[in-house]
Structures are given as structure tokens and as C-alpha cells.
């Protein structure tokens, strides 16, 4: 069975999204699932942008780079003229007018769009639908831009379904890398929402998908990010503000406030950081989430269950507690990349001269 790819081109014929089609039940069924999925995403934004959605056979390697090059070659060489394609707004119109229990395939889209050509009332509804989203897209005074500010600068996102998706992916990236040295100088994460008639800012926000892999996972690509100077939002009050202080408490607050998924790695780092700073292990024996129990439980038992724990301030107890802190620090330095726990740089030994 042939492999297919589905992809979206914006009004400038640039790639917004692509993915391979599973094609387990035939391209009519699986291709329809992809097309309706694009409509569903688009309807999660303020308007549906002007995009064209394609389905074409593909025989090459499935790595994202290969697929992207293939699409660009096909676009530049005029190879898409015979491909199955629909305007995104037309797909969304069909999606909105299709029962959840109805048929969702390529043929059903083609049938309804053909019916719209023959049925005056349906044609009027489709044209009104197209005009509605076209006017919404052109109404720049009511466009809402999301600006996310960190120590790295400001990134802009538009209010399309894909733009909001990209903003969420970027926030998840920040959450996943909360303890990373990249945010060494970060004090706060701030989110601003504002309307702007500045066409340059609107264009900047419309490019937000270029900072992400165009494939299905939408992986954030830091090397493609175009950060703007934070001074541009200095006179505005953020709608949302989260502390970026490197602690488990601040990480949990950020994740909960922004509805982010929490990572096992960050939990480990947060607990290790707390142990390193306080020397207190807590009730780790019952903590199934923490992966480094065995590094501390024995020392903790030695302190709690022997004569050592009853003698505060002794050299021995202080030494064991210091070992607990040092162990946590060692793990943070060797097993993770954590701001504030960067391994010390090895100094080069000066060479000695020998007099002959």
C-alpha cells in the first residue's frame, strides 16, 4: 500500500505543516481523517487562515528533512497541479456541516463541495463562510498577538489554531527545560496579549510555525527562534507571570498555572536541589517518583536509626549530613544539566620547566 503525505501551504506557498498518512484503511478514509484533523485544529483559533491542504503519494524516506525537501521541490517545480487538494476554509466548512457520526473521508468533502456548486443555497453559505474568515484575517485591528518573554527575549505568536498550538508547545519546552542553564539568568516568565495594527508585528507573529519542526510532533527548534528585545514590552503589564527561580516549588507552580505536562526528570532535579540546599531527605522510601533513592536511604537510616541522630551538632552527624548534600550536588552535576550546578571547569596545570 502506497505511503501518502498530507501538508498545508500558506498564502505564500510556504510549508505550515506536514505529516505522513497512516493509510491503513485506504487514502480515502485515512486522508479524510487528516483533512478533517486540519479543520479541527484551525477551528481552535480566532479565524481560519488562507491555506491549501494537499494529499500526495510519497516514496521517499520518512525523516522530516526528506519530506520537507520533497514538498519544496514539488512546489517549486509545479508538481502539485494534479495533487488532491482543498482550501482549508472549504474543508472546515464541510467539517462544520458534517455530523460527528457521518462519513469523514475525502469523497465526502468532494461531494459536498460539488453540491455547493450546484445548490444555490449551499453555494451562498460556502461563499459567506469564506468571506467571514477572510475578513477576520484581514481585520488586523482585532488580531490578538501572544508575546512570551524570558531572559532570552520575546517570541510572538498569532491567534490562529496553529499559532496557539505553537505557543503551547513553546511553553511546554520551557517547562521541560525549566532547570536548564539556558535559563540561568531567567527571573520570570511573562505572557502578554495585545492587539496591534503594526503590520511588522503581525507578520512576525504569523511566522511562529517556522520555529517548530513542521512535522506532526511540532518540536521547538531553538536555532530557528527569532527573539525580539524585551524592551518592546517594558511598558506593558503581563497577563500571566511565573517565577523562573530554579526550585521544585516554582516549577510545579509554572506547570500548573500554564497547564503543562510535568516531567520525571524535572521532579528528580527538584528533589535533588532541595536535598542539596537543606540536607533533608524527607520520606523518600515511599516516593516512587524519585529515581535516586538508593543514593540517600542508607545514609538517612544511619542518621535516624543510630546514636548519631540523637547528637545534634557533632562532627560525625555534620559530616554525614554534608555527605548527603555533596551526593545530591554530584548527581546534579554529572547526571543532569542544571543551572547553578554546572560542573567546575578543570584548570590546566602549568607546565614546569626543567633546567638541564
Cα angle 51-57-60, degrees, rounded to a multiple of 5: 110
Least-confidence region, from 52-56, 249-253, 324-328, 352-356: 352-356
Pairing of β 144-150 and β 188-195 = antiparallel
Contacts of 197 (CB under 8 A, 6+ apart): 140, 141
Cell representation of residue 171? 511553553
pTM of the model: 0.89
Q: Please give the distance of CA 6 from its chain centroid, rounded to a whole number.
A: 21
Query: Please, which pLDDT band fits residue 310 given cuts at 50, 70 and 90?
Result: low
- The per-residue pLDDT for 95 is 96
CB atoms within 10 A of CB 345: 6
Q: Residue holding cell 497541479?
A: 81
Task: Give Cα separations from 250 to 173, 239, 242, 270, 280 (angstroms).
Answer: 16, 18, 8, 10, 19
- How far is the C-alpha of 146 from the C-alpha of 159, rounded, in Å? 7
- How far is the C-alpha of 239 from the C-alpha of 76, rounded, in Å? 42
Sheet with 51-58, side-by-side order of all strands: 15-21, 3-10, 51-58, 84-87
Percent pLDDT > 90 in the chain is: 70
**Structure-derived torsion over alpha carbons of residues 290, 294, 299, 304, reported in degrees to the nearest 10:** 60
Q: Is 21 helix (H, G, I), strand (E, B) or coil?
A: strand
- How far is the C-alpha of 316 from the C-alpha of 39, rounded, in Å? 67
- Rounded to a whole number of angstroms, the distance between the first and last alpha carbons of the chain is 79
- The per-residue pLDDT for 223 is 96
Report phi then psi at 134, rounded to 5: -65, -45
Quick: pLDDT tens for 35-76.
999 999 999 999 999 999 999 999 888 888 899 999 999 999
Task: Give Cα separations from 245 to 159, 227, 339 (angstroms).
Answer: 29, 21, 10
Question: Cβ distance 38 to 88 under 8 Å?
Answer: yes
Quick: pLDDT tens for 179-188.
999 999 999 9
- The per-residue pLDDT for 30 is 93
Q: Residue holding cell 562532627?
A: 315
Amino acid at each position: 500500500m502506497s505511503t501518502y503525505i498530507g501538508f498545508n501551504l500558506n498564502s505564500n506557498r510556504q510549508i505550515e505543516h506536514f505529516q505522513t498518512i497512516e493509510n491503513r484503511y485506504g487514502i480515502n478514509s485515512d486522508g479524510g481523517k487528516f483533512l478533517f484533523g486540519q479543520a479541527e485544529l484551525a477551528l481552535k483559533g480566532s479565524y481560519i487562515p488562507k491555506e491549501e491542504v494537499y494529499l500526495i503519494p510519497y516514496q521517499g524516506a520518512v525523516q522530516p528533512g526528506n519530506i520537507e525537501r520533497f514538498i519544496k521541490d514539488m512546489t517549486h517545480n509545479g508538481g502539485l497541479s494534479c495533487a488532491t487538494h482543498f482550501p482549508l476554509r472549504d474543508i472546515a466548512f464541510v467539517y462544520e456541516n458534517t455530523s460527528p457520526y457521518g462519513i469523514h473521508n475525502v469523497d465526502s468533502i468532494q461531494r459536498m463541495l460539488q453540491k455547493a456548486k450546484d445548490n444555490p443555497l449551499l453555494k451562498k453559505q460556502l461563499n459567506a463562510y469564506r468571506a467571514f474568515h477572510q475578513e477576520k484575517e484581514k481585520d488586523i485591528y482585532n488580531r490578538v498577538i501572544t508575546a512570551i518573554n524570558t531572559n532570552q527575549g520575546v517570541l510572538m505568536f498569532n491567534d490562529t489554531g496553529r499559532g496557539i498550538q505553537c505557543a503551547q508547545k513553546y511553553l511546554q519546552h520551557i517547562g521541560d527545560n525549566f532547570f536548564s542553564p539556558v535559563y540561568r539568568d531567567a527571573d520570570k516568565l511573562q505572557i502578554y496579549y495585545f492587539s496591534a495594527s503594526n503590520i511588522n508585528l503581525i507578520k512576525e507573529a504569523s511566522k511562529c510555525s517556522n520555529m517548530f519542526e513542521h512535522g506532526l510532533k511540532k518540536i521547538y527548534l531553538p536555532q530557528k527562534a527569532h527573539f525580539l528585545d524585551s524592551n518592546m514590552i517594558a511598558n506593558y503589564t503581563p497577563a500571566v507571570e511565573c517565577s523562573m527561580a530554579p526550585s521544585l516549588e516554582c516549577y510545579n507552580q509554572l506547570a500548573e498555572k500554564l497547564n503543562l505536562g510535568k516531567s520525571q526528570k524535572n521532579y528528580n532535579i527538584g528533589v535533588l536541589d532541595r536535598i542539596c540546599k537543606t540536607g533533608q531527605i524527607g520520606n523518600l522510601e515511599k516516593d516512587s517518583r524519585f529515581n535516586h533513592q538508593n543514593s540517600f536511604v542508607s545514609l538517612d537510616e544511619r542518621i535516624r536509626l543510630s546514636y548519631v541522630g540523637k547528637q545534634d551538632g557533632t562532627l560525625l552527624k555534620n559530616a554525614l549530613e554534608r555527605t548527603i548534600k555533596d551526593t545530591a550536588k554530584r548527581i546534579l552535576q554529572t547526571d543532569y544539566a542544571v543551572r547553578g550546578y554546572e560542573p567546575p571547569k578543570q584548570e590546566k596545570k602549568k607546565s614546569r620547566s626543567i633546567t638541564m
